[in-house]
Structure formats: structure tokens, C-alpha cells
Structure 1
Amino acid sequence: MNRERAQTRHLHIAHGATVQDITVDDVGEETVETYLENWLWGKQSLRPSTHTSYEIHIRRYLVPYLGNLPLTALRPLHVERMYRELAMLEGTRGRPITVSTLRRVHATLMSAMNTAVRRGLIERNPAATVELPRTPRPTMNAWTAEELGRFLTLTTADPMNMMFVLLGLVGLRRGEAVALRWSDLDLNAGLLRVEQTSVRVGGRTVIGPPKSSSGQRVVAIDEETARRLQWHQCRQRLSVLRASDERVPPPTQVFTTERGEPLDPAYVSRLFSRLIAHHNLRPIRLHDLRHTSASVGLASGESLVEVSRRLGHSSITITADVYSHVSPEVAKSSAERLARTIYHP
């Protein structure tokens, strides 16, 4: 936007902005910057984490490279040039910007330009014909059942041990476990309801619904896990009473600090890494416990449908594509079952 010819008001595109906060361009030629800011303001129904991601993409990448262009003048070559230059930039932590980051920025621009097409502001989406590098399939670094069992045994005394059980055995996501409430559990029936998740937004922890409807699910838990959760609840309540100067109500969350306060999801990941190093175990990421849960489940004879529902995937195709090749144990077990039907009918 030409700042010498345009009279503007400062824009606040944080979630929940008011109409008066939107930039006003007296020139009449809507720029990409003005359009993106107005488009983001209109996305009030987004999850806070998604809204924050869009805001970062717009402020950090799209506006600096495309913002001065009139919206109607934006062409694929402008978008391609931006992606080439972004690929050569250094990330915020000194690392090159990854292909996956470029794809997320591209997804934000695609969504915004599709809206512009629907509103009749432009004839076609200038980002639609731009090709991006393929995102390499991430390497699955799951533990075996024996490795998972050893880790859980070695960390039995840690207050977060039960969270690692739910991540590695049940297959919960980190945010789902952090947001889990005691009211979400029916330990007598052996049922666990996933109804909310915890995410970091703008430096603070926000609890909200799962990203998709398939994320809201009921998962069966075994008797031993239910028994351990009951013991965890007793330990948690005693810890909160000891740490408090006065009587406080029991925590509503399943996993809290020793004072009963909500957990920072990042703390769980850091603790997991420290415990692995302390016990000299094969290093994996915290999220790899979820991969471990799927891999061990498939190897033990659990069907793809069962694993897909337990993990909260929107489609069994996702489960088959991501997890069916994770563990050699799965292929070996399948080959043995097939051979038995032929050699020993």
C-alpha cells in the first residue's frame, strides 16, 4: 500500500477485533495487504490456534512480499517468486524454512484467494496453479512394545507416568491428554471420552474442542489402566493437599502441577525428553508415543478400523497410509497368519 497516498488506521487482527479496527484505504484500490487483513478479520469462527497461524502467515510472509500489489494485479509469478525467496530465508530459530511451512503458508493464501473469487473481487485464484515441492513423508520412529513397557516401568514413580500410558497405550494426542478431565472418565465402565484439547496460542494455553468432529470420540480402556488411573487420582489429590496452605477442591483435570494448576503442553514434551536421556533409552519424540500405540496395536492384531477410531482419524485411509508400514512386526505377523492358512489349513 502507498503510505503517502493512503490514509490508514492501525490494524488489530488479533482474534475478536472490531469493525473499527480495520484499515481504511482512501485510495479505493484494494491491495493484497488490505484484503488479507479484512479477510482475516472476517474469520471469527476459527479455532484460536488456526486464527493465530493465519495471522502469522499474513504478517510474516504474505504482506511483506505481496502486500503492496493491487489485489486484481496479483499473478502466479508473484506467488512463485515469493516462495522461491522464502525458501532461501532463515527461519526464526536459525533454520531454513521447511517445505511443510511453505505448504501451510500456501494453504492460507489459497483459502484467502478462493474467498476473493467467490466474492467476485478477482476472476481466478492466482495461487491455484503454483506448484510446491513435495513434502517428504516423515520418518516414523516408534518404540517396540518392549521399549514402551520398559519406559513405563522405569518412570512409574513420576507424576506424569499415567499421561505417558494414555499416549503410548491409548494413543491420545498430547493436547487431548493435557485437557482430559476426570468427568471425561468412566472408570467403572472402562471408557474415556475425548471432548477437548489443549493448544498454545500466543504464549498461553487455550483449551477448546478437537480440530475435527472425528477427534471427539469414546475410547475403551482396560481394567489395569482404569485401576492405575484411580491410584493416580489419589496421588494427585494428596499432592495438591500437601502443596496448598489451605483446603482446596479436588482438581478437575486428570493431569496438573503438584498444586493442581493446568499443565503447559510444552512442559510434557520437555519432561519426556529428560526422562529418556536419564534412563538412557532410544530417543523418540513425545508424539512418537502415538505412533507407537498404532504400531503396537496393529502388531497385536488390532484392525485398521479399530486403530483409526481409537486415534480419532477422520478416515481409515489416513490410518492405512500412515501406519500400516510403521513396524516390521506388523508385516511379519501378517505373513505368519497367511502362511498358517496355507500350510496348516
Structure 2
Amino acid sequence: MMKIRAAVARFTHGPLSLETLEIGEPQADEILVRVVATGVCHTDIVVRDGMLPTPLPVVLGHEGAGIVERVGSAVTKVVPGDHVVMTFDSCGGCPSCQDHAPSYCHEFFPRNFFATRTDGSTALAKEGEVIHSHFFGQSSFASHAICHERNIVKVPKDVSLELLGPLACGVQTGAGAVINALKVGVGKSFAVFGSGSVGLSAIMAAKAIGATTVIAVDMNDERLAFAQEVGATHTLNPKNINTAAAIMEITGHGLDYALDTTGLGPVIKGAVLSLAPRGTCGVLGASAPGSEIVLDEVHFMSGGRRLIGIVEGEADPDTFIPTLIRLYQQGRFPFDKMVKFYPMERINDAIADSESGITIKPIVRMESGSQ
């Protein structure tokens, strides 16, 4: 058993504790990665706070980037020394996975939230105490993580590895919603409701693919200013204006595409009311289990409008993450502008700054000066 350093969630709503743990050898289909850096995502916070049935104690983290150290005997996708990003896990065999739609894997929930291998075992322990691992197939709030071929993506070595972790979830979710799910086209109008890291990633993607009207809606004026810096053509603060009326004035007929990142029923209803006939609104999450969406049925039906759920940007990570990297290298997808780095010792500060909105996208470095 190898000794590693990890941030352990032991108590609901409590701070993570930095601890020395033991990690087992990778199994035949597993990969041991030395984690260089990991993004902090809203989902980590939701799970820490007990809103999903992930068992404690657990090592969270699901936007890991690092270097392959060891591979199991059945692994052929990567070799030691490869630079990689770890993303969400999937089974590879269900109808969705066979259709290259792994974000809708029939086993998505257990493989990503149950924090064990499929046989119920874990890779982590502390002096005989079971510590749950394999959160999103990785548990990357740690110096080392074990993942699978299905959720590892090889990335080029000529781009800063410590920057790439957020492409695994938050950035992929926002950009993929625009490019893969909504398929926003050149010259179309698009609005995102909620300008956090996911919403801002969507704005960057909309600009990159040629949407000509890109509207950011948020109650934080600083976020709106930043949205304009990275691609929004218009910004709206619902505290100061009737959003639906303003969108109609900007577009003339309503939106071709809208994206909600808040999970709030009233906001989603407003986004749908802002759609033009045949417009589509995507929804990325729910505020709580059992949340409901109420729509104006006549408005929704009579205009042929559509409402769709979206998970992980409907991405096939093996192809989509390298695409985002190329767009970044070309200067067309500047997601690096919204990140701030923290040392592992300050992981709780990174989480708190994400919750408060001080930092748009925190990235935790496992070691100072890691590249």
C-alpha cells in the first residue's frame, strides 16, 4: 500500500481534512495517476453537504489532471508518463455508451456517486479504516488517484497540465451544452441564465462557434462584466430589468437557444418564455431532488418550443476535451481567464471562495510549482 496525501470529507457541511492515506495497486483495468491539479466543482460541494447519497468518509474531486504512473495489465489506452485528464466514468456497454453518449450511461449514477468500485471495494484506507474512493471514477482531491480507461483522456504535453482539470466537468458541461446538445449555429441568438464557470464556458463556446447575439443573465454585476469580456454581446441583471422583455427587444422575436445553469424552476420558466418559436432551452441541473418545472403550456406548445435536459455537455470526452484544448491554444476559448490557483493546504479556502463567488473556477495544485 502506497502512502498518499488526500483531502477527506468526513462530516456533512464540514471542512475537508488533509490526511495521509494508503492507496492500493491499480487493478487490471485501472490506472494510477499522480495528480498535478484538480478543479473544484459545485458537485463536490453538493456531495460534501449531503445532498446526494455518497457515503462518508470519502475523497471527493472529479476534475483531475495528472501524469500516469502505473497501469493495470489490461490497460492499452495510456502508458506511464502520459499527461491525462480524468473525467466522469461510464460503463462502456449500455446502449448510451454504445452510441457514444457516455454522459447518459445507464450506470452513470452508481459509477460516479457511489464512491466504490462496481464490486463495492475501495482503493483507499487509513490504518484499517475504509475511505471511499472512485468518486466520479477518480477521487482526485489527492496526490494520487486511481481511474479507468473509460474516464481518462490523454492530452498533449505542450499545454500546461495544471490548467486542464476543469475541462473534465464544469467547462466541458457548459461548452458541450452549446456545441453538442443545443448545437447553436452561426448567426444564432443564445442566452445563458447564470454566469458561473459553467455559464461562462457556454458563453465562450457560443462566441467560438459564431453565435452573433450572446446574452448573459446574472444578478452579479462583476460576473456580467466578465461575461462581456469573454464573449457576451449583451448582459442583463434581473434585479434591474424585466429579462424576458429585454431579450425580446434585443432579438426582435426571442431566443434561438437558451441555457439554464441555475436549476431554479422560476428561472427556467423565464428562459422558456424568452424563446422564439422553435427555440430550445437546455437545463443543466436541479436545485434539489424532486424539483419541478412549471411552464406556460400554450406558449410552450404553440410555438414548437423545446426543453431538454443536458448532462456533462453530452460530450464524448475522448474527442471533446482535445477539441476544447485546440480551441484554447488557438485563442478562441480563453477558459484560463476564470481560474485561480490554490495550494492543497488551502483547499477549504478554494471551496469557500467558490461558494461565495469570490473565485469563478478554483484549481487546487497538489504540489507547489507543479507543471
Common fold by TM > 0.5:
no
Q: Report the structure, 1 or 2, having the larger helix content.
A: 1
**What TM-score does the superposition give when structure 2 sets the normalisation length?**
0.27
Higher Rg: 1
